[in-house]
Structure 1
């Protein structure tokens, strides 16, 4: 009875509050004073059925009541608010037209939502639905190793269980950082209608509606859900930070692709004062742009700054931010059904199916034209010359890519913004049997599952250009005249002389990309009793699993040929199989001590076999305290994109030889390396985005990891059953993850700086870097390899409390807080990644502290909830800021501080108000309209969209009616 007291107290807390403990939600507590034992259930993190609510591994549970309290309507938004969650894609990322493809071959993921536990990357978090693997996303841009949570409608979710521990021995690959297990609604009788509407101060209207029907009989139960979700866009131009920006994403650090054009060339006809011709040491190189208001360009070679031109400088750069989106629009429609049928007394059949469609849009500023060797694409654009006979060429001679021409740019805003429309279909089918049997005095459970899942996506890209046609239209007009539709292209007239419709129609093109991922899975499991140890029973679970993965990526033919002005991408079509067998054991060694062990053997068709193990303990020395710990070996197999992808990535790279808006000389530590690479003393980086060739590696081996946790759960009996405290429990858990042979590309910024410090040439760190005309970096290569070691550790704190019922109501509170002690990533060459605890880099921060506090006051049918979300301050390195005079980084300071941020959320509920079974909710998230801290290094909108909320408050109303 004493041991059951803690179990029951904590289990009740799990059902009443936002918990931080492992949960057996389906179990029913024994009545007060009864010696009846709890029913056995399966808890995420173990396949052995057990009665203990506090297991050896830490599990965080969000039940439906607490999901509703957040006011959020997507699974991704819900999980990204967890304190253990790091940066992951969401609707605040508007990245399609600006960065190209990340090095992992998984694509941009436009419109998707992911989850990242412990800042280890979404590809290292395994997503399950009802204990079965979910298909990875395609999103039309690659073959990803991450699941898109937007494929799972929130309307079908009963609860979410988050295993905050490595679990490869239990679930196989990808479970290095933890496991998300989404449990769908199963037992439901009647009908329920849900309607929701919300919006931000600047728009982003959000509408959600769902219908759930359910029923049951003596031998069956069934649930059907249909849902609709629509979220409208918010333009970046509606936020003052984007309209009149202070960080590097604004005017001073914007793009050199400007509406008035930029022209960097040498006049070969003028006498020289140097060696002669257009060598780098002559005075005849011009970097000019057209004056505003010009309709007819006039160039004076004797006075390049006279006529209608002026020397290009930082004030001429283009602020692209207002054309982007703060919040990307999307629509989702879904149908889900599940049926359970008792075939016999001991055997049950289940069938589940889901269809989910998502349409979403990204938008970027009108696509800039970059031609000449300084374009830095590594493709056709770098080879383009502008013929002397082009009727719009004001200079009177050919701008030759092989001699006197670095780069010409022009952003034709008259074409309109780049539009990326995604259409994603997800189809899921699962059928299985489960049941029980006995042998002698031992009981056993078994199950068999087959699952088929298909995620298929297309992306339509509008207002992009065909570079091959641009080359023809800027070349010899006589050759252009022989090609149907070709007209000479004018990139010299600026906004005063826009491109004609005929010019636009010839170079503009519509591009279609598509990708697909398919997962077929067969699994069989048996769990039960082995033998008794004293008055307790040892348990086991064992099983087999077969999975087949297939992935296809078909970029538009223009991307494959390099004729797209947007990023290059190569197709992928591949598959692999894996066969696995595992065993898990639990031994009650003492009346107060349980030991657990698991082992899993995996055989992959791509790299061979591997074996992982796990061990854990649960010790309850006294009634009120449970001490627990685990040690886990983990692995992650390289996914199809990592093995076979080949793409380009537009890294926001700061060249230490002379950053944007800050011509050299370089810092003394880089000066010798810059000179050795051929960067002139007065070098200025032409553009903040330097294209990098990235891609997969078919020789990749699995990542390997070691993880351990240690925790204490304390539920004091002296704070139970009292007026001021019906129950109170505490949890402290330490975690540590170390990953070896991490699959990654090198930190290209850190690698460039190391290369320059080492002299700029000759060392292995300098292999990716060469420079072209004018000292600009040529596109480096940065392919994936088993390069890294990643190590992180920290502590989770959780507290749950509730009072008894008073005449004035009942109070409850829950606290979850995560402290990240250390995060370090080092490659095989000893280069340490800039990503650390308390540092903002690459649009991603790792705050030292994140804390969520939920409080509730309930009286009868009325409930008020107040949530406080805290994010500690972070620093960004001023050496990464693309503009030397950016606020916060002037005066020689090394870092810019992004202050701590606190959000307040309020929610009011009235249950059974006026009409029986009607629940009305009104809420406001970020009540005080807290704006995210301005980030000088962050892309697009000047803030970290993976860490902070959108600017401004979000209010919502919802109604639920059940009949």
Structure 2
């Protein structure tokens, strides 16, 4: 019996079949579309873009090889291929099909030619598309999302991470600067360097493989939990290719949800200077300056790029939805008792310290019994830190002969951050009777406890640090007839330093609170600023830490035709890889608990991991070329397999199969099937005491008369973690009907069956007792007094709410562990229509993802819980619509971003989080050629979130952290207006 998502897929396929029939007659009658052209002599890039828009053909023209070239006039009626060949005549370039795309590359030249256009071997110019090792082919069965230079320029976004956030398949619930310690994602708290990652399908950033020109970058974050894409300068990027499908058979065991390949501008020719300034409400500003220079000679090419980026911090006070007090939105006031003035705890009672006084003349009669002063943890805190980055990218190729070339590329990035951060937890401080400002509210002459916000004196805690990343690739490529053999080595290293300043040193604070001298004693009884500055500096503490991740790999691969068939060449690719990964934690200097700073040893982590891999891939053309029959214009089948041996987890083998079937021109049906594997990361395997956290907490409980329950929670890593495995499959269609020129549609139904997925139950902390059946395996109701006592006696126990042992009703095992089932299915769509309008060229379209289900269960016998549309998980529907227009000078773009509504289950009563729509817009002007020094200058005025739409209200309650919006799905920046000038030389 079909389940609902499968039934929807069946209905959708039926609709596709009907569309196929409707398109058949027109497709057969119009095998090639011709268009009237009247193009003047102009820049080649502009002429190619106009042909692409008018004909509807998918054209890939790398800017580095078309930049600076002029196109002849084009007048007459031509098909797309013929028009492009006429434009390329005499340019040293050629056009060839790669899958459904027409790719512009350098034409081959005879040995010894002195053409300065660049390297001469045709094979060196053949493009390899993400998702396959077969050169000159697109991945069979899959649709690749491409973001090129034009897309990036039109978007209004300036960093690689912001550009990738616009993809509907990407879920923001992963490490990025906006979710540092403010996310239900377990890896966000490990983002020690305020970096950014990508999380395809919401399956976790560790299940998305990130590549830089096909190579793995170094590991970032604590224990190397993600690849930091914020270190990649967007000005050096030619295009980004995203394949949201399991590709472990191609790239290895991390590509469960898909792969993101950032491809640099390796063949850029000439020079380009860019400068941008942007501003957001609340005095948050950004600045970017970049320069790229490229030069080709008869046998080689070199390119160097530099980028500087800076964005100032965004204060939480500038956004009214970033607060602990949610009452203005109709929610609860979740401010805590650590305030200034604070509160006195004595005799089981709470006494609020009055405001408007400095604590030097406070008497018991002044105190307010039974009242509590409340403090907002977001007071004087930055929701986004200051970021400053310098990046340098360089690449060089050199032909040593007509068949052998060597190449290399390197990237260096240095990023600094500085932001005021929240004090995650605090504790009441004991004030002895010797303190000259001591006040005894109950007359016992005994020490009292004070809940006080020390940030009023010390300033807010500041997270200050740096991240430095290095990457180097060297290789040699030999063209042996129609075969290519490639040997390459890659090295990557990333180092992070992080300091937290303005922390309270508990040992020195105890001395200052016990000091009888009013001139030097610490005074916690006022509104702040009542203590001698020298004493404040004496109490001021800090922590600093560092870590580093290293990866190096070597690869030997060969690719070429095995045999010629009537439908084309049967091509294969084979290869072997060796990869070494290591992460090391540095020493931590802690100045928070002893009179003098203490040097703590590095956190023990698993030893280096070594992976040996071998793979093979075959592309079999069954129909096409010289062999076609009715209903089979083209039929391609691919198969790939990859075997990997892990030094710590053994061997895994993953296959992948793909098929493309074109029954008629303009109609393609496709499908894929494969398996994937991901071994636990270094962070997952950590078992030292630092991983353990035991705490008492209050969560919703529908079975309790009060609606709440006091529980004990254990967090950490399960020592019995197993590797993850997944089965993925997809079916889709690509439509380009001849009767509707300029129209293109890509639809893909995907299914992911993820077994033994490693995840943290703590992400659903507030649902443990609301959904008891789901979490029954980790809940112990009515625990024994001995079990409770063991928690309270543990050195890792924290009790922020002061819950007594006899009030505990349950214990929850919320350690990181294997979930037995995660099943996700959904539909990706991208539809566009290009046409001529207003003496220019226009395009309207939309890309979106609809998720039917994300079923989870802890054990095979536990109930399945669908978590799509639940806070902390992906929303079912994300759409990014677009309307574009340009002529030879002016350009305009409009993007509409839609996020569907979803549900917040962290409260006793579920709350609906409203949908969110934002608009991005840009208008640009390009100075035409022959205008002196300003020729080729492009000026763009952009606005992201044009109407300054606030994120929808969401009571995002993590217990010790609260905010009024969902940082996984929304940015707090608001409207950003920018002006960018780019000059080609």
- The two structures have a TM-score, normalised by structure 1, of 0.80
Aligned to 1:262: 343
Matches within 5 A, 1:93-492: 93=178, 95=180, 107-138=190-221, 142-242=222-322, 245-246=325-326, 252-266=333-347, 285-294=348-357, 295-296=359-360, 307-313=366-372, 316-365=373-422, 369-371=426-428, 387-395=432-440, 408-438=451-481, 443-471=482-510, 489-491=522-524
**How far apart are 1:298 and its partner, in Å?**
5.8
How far apart, in 1, do the equivalents of 2:55 and 2:962 lie? 37
Is the 8 Å Cα contact of residues 716 and 814 (structure 2) preserved in structure 1?
Answer: yes
Q: Judging changes above 3 Å, is the alpha-carbon distance between structure 1 residues 196 and 617 closer, same or farther for their aligned structure 2 residues?
A: same
**How far apart are 1:706 and its partner, in Å?**
0.9
Aligned to 2:853: 822
Is the 8 Å Cα contact of residues 48 and 584 (structure 1) preserved in structure 2?
Answer: yes
**How far apart are 1:94 and its partner, in Å?**
6.4
Match of 1:530 among 551, 558, 562: 562
How far apart, in 1, do the equivalents of 2:392 and 2:432 lie? 58
Match of 1:584 among 613, 617, 631: 617
> In terms of mean alpha carbon deviation, does 870-879 or 87-96 score higher?
87-96
Is the 8 Å Cα contact of residues 570 and 645 (structure 1) preserved in structure 2?
Answer: no
Q: Deviations over 1:396-441 (max 9, x none)?
A: 65878xxxx9984544412111111121111111101123213xxx
How far apart, in 2, do the equivalents of 1:504 and 1:719 lie? 73
Is the 8 Å Cα contact of residues 741 and 787 (structure 1) preserved in structure 2?
Answer: yes
**How far apart are 1:454 and its partner, in Å?**
0.8
Is the 8 Å Cα contact of residues 103 and 695 (structure 1) preserved in structure 2?
Answer: no
Q: Deviations over 1:63-111 (max 9, x none)?
A: 1101110011111000011111101457652636x78x97559723442
Alignment of 1:600 onto 2:642: yes
How far apart, in 1, do the equivalents of 2:310 and 2:216 lie? 27
Matches within 5 A, 1:570-719: 571-573=603-605, 574-591=607-624, 592-644=634-686, 647=690, 655-656=698-699, 667-669=702-704, 674=709, 694-696=715-717, 699-719=720-740
CA RMSD of aligned residues (A): 4.2
> In terms of mean alpha carbon deviation, does 627-636 or 588-597 score higher?
588-597
**How far apart are 1:948 and its partner, in Å?**
2.0
Q: Judging changes above 3 Å, is the alpha-carbon distance between structure 1 residues 472 and 431 closer, same or farther for their aligned structure 2 residues?
A: same
Q: Judging changes above 3 Å, is the alpha-carbon distance between structure 1 residues 13 and 917 closer, same or farther for their aligned structure 2 residues?
A: closer
How far apart, in 1, do the equivalents of 2:956 and 2:638 lie? 47
Aligned to 1:276: none
Alignment of 1:506 onto 2:538: yes
**How far apart are 1:217 and its partner, in Å?**
1.0
Is the 8 Å Cα contact of residues 465 and 564 (structure 1) preserved in structure 2?
Answer: no
Is the 8 Å Cα contact of residues 161 and 196 (structure 2) preserved in structure 1?
Answer: yes
**How far apart are 1:357 and its partner, in Å?**
0.6
Is the 8 Å Cα contact of residues 925 and 954 (structure 1) preserved in structure 2?
Answer: yes
How far apart, in 1, do the equivalents of 2:664 and 2:860 lie? 50
Q: Judging changes above 3 Å, is the alpha-carbon distance between structure 1 residues 672 and 459 closer, same or farther for their aligned structure 2 residues?
A: closer
**How far apart are 1:940 and its partner, in Å?**
5.0
Aligned to 1:860: 888
Is the 8 Å Cα contact of residues 173 and 635 (structure 1) preserved in structure 2?
Answer: yes
**How far apart are 1:321 and its partner, in Å?**
2.2
How far apart, in 2, do the equivalents of 1:353 and 1:437 lie? 27
**How far apart are 1:918 and its partner, in Å?**
1.2
Alignment of 1:732 onto 2:747: yes
- Please state whether the residue corresponding to 2:699 is helix, strand or coil: coil
Is the 8 Å Cα contact of residues 349 and 433 (structure 1) preserved in structure 2?
Answer: yes
Aligned to 1:785: 817
**How far apart are 1:489 and its partner, in Å?**
4.6
Q: Judging changes above 3 Å, is the alpha-carbon distance between structure 1 residues 713 and 496 closer, same or farther for their aligned structure 2 residues?
A: closer
Is the 8 Å Cα contact of residues 219 and 227 (structure 2) preserved in structure 1?
Answer: yes
Q: Judging changes above 3 Å, is the alpha-carbon distance between structure 1 residues 308 and 125 closer, same or farther for their aligned structure 2 residues?
A: same
- Please state whether the residue corresponding to 1:237 is helix, strand or coil: helix
Is the 8 Å Cα contact of residues 253 and 676 (structure 2) preserved in structure 1?
Answer: yes
Is the 8 Å Cα contact of residues 324 and 964 (structure 2) preserved in structure 1?
Answer: no
Alignment of 1:959 onto 2:981: yes
Match of 1:540 among 563, 572, 575: 572
Match of 1:920 among 931, 936, 939: 939
Structure 2: gaps of 5 or more residues: 1-26, 36-47, 67-79, 86-93, 99-125, 625-633, 793-797
> In terms of mean alpha carbon deviation, does 37-46 or 217-226 score higher?
37-46
Q: Deviations over 1:634-686 (max 9, x none)?
A: 111212122126547999997137xxxxxxxx7544779958x7xxxxxxxxx
How far apart, in 1, do the equivalents of 2:484 and 2:691 lie? 50
Is the 8 Å Cα contact of residues 672 and 760 (structure 1) preserved in structure 2?
Answer: no
**How far apart are 1:287 and its partner, in Å?**
2.6
Q: Judging changes above 3 Å, is the alpha-carbon distance between structure 1 residues 111 and 33 closer, same or farther for their aligned structure 2 residues?
A: closer
Match of 2:897 among 859, 869, 876: 869
Aligned to 1:87: 172
Alignment of 1:936 onto 2:955: yes
**How far apart are 1:292 and its partner, in Å?**
2.0
**How far apart are 1:509 and its partner, in Å?**
1.3
Aligned to 2:871: 840
Structure 1: gaps of 5 or more residues: 267-284, 301-305, 373-384, 658-665, 678-689, 721-726, 881-893
**How far apart are 1:865 and its partner, in Å?**
1.2
Q: Judging changes above 3 Å, is the alpha-carbon distance between structure 1 residues 412 and 424 closer, same or farther for their aligned structure 2 residues?
A: closer
Aligned to 2:133: 47
Aligned to 1:945: 967
Q: Judging changes above 3 Å, is the alpha-carbon distance between structure 1 residues 867 and 102 closer, same or farther for their aligned structure 2 residues?
A: closer
Q: Judging changes above 3 Å, is the alpha-carbon distance between structure 1 residues 197 and 393 closer, same or farther for their aligned structure 2 residues?
A: same
How far apart, in 1, do the equivalents of 2:720 and 2:780 lie? 29
Is the 8 Å Cα contact of residues 168 and 175 (structure 1) preserved in structure 2?
Answer: yes
Q: Deviations over 1:252-297 (max 9, x none)?
A: 212222222234443xxxxxxxxxxxxxxxxxx2133212234357
How far apart, in 2, do the equivalents of 1:717 and 1:16 lie? 15
**How far apart are 1:702 and its partner, in Å?**
1.7
How far apart, in 2, do the equivalents of 1:20 and 1:210 lie? 33
How far apart, in 2, do the equivalents of 1:825 and 1:456 lie? 36
**How far apart are 1:709 and its partner, in Å?**
1.0
Match of 1:749 among 760, 766, 777: 766
**How far apart are 1:248 and its partner, in Å?**
9.5
How far apart, in 2, do the equivalents of 1:960 and 1:673 lie? 58
**How far apart are 1:602 and its partner, in Å?**
0.8
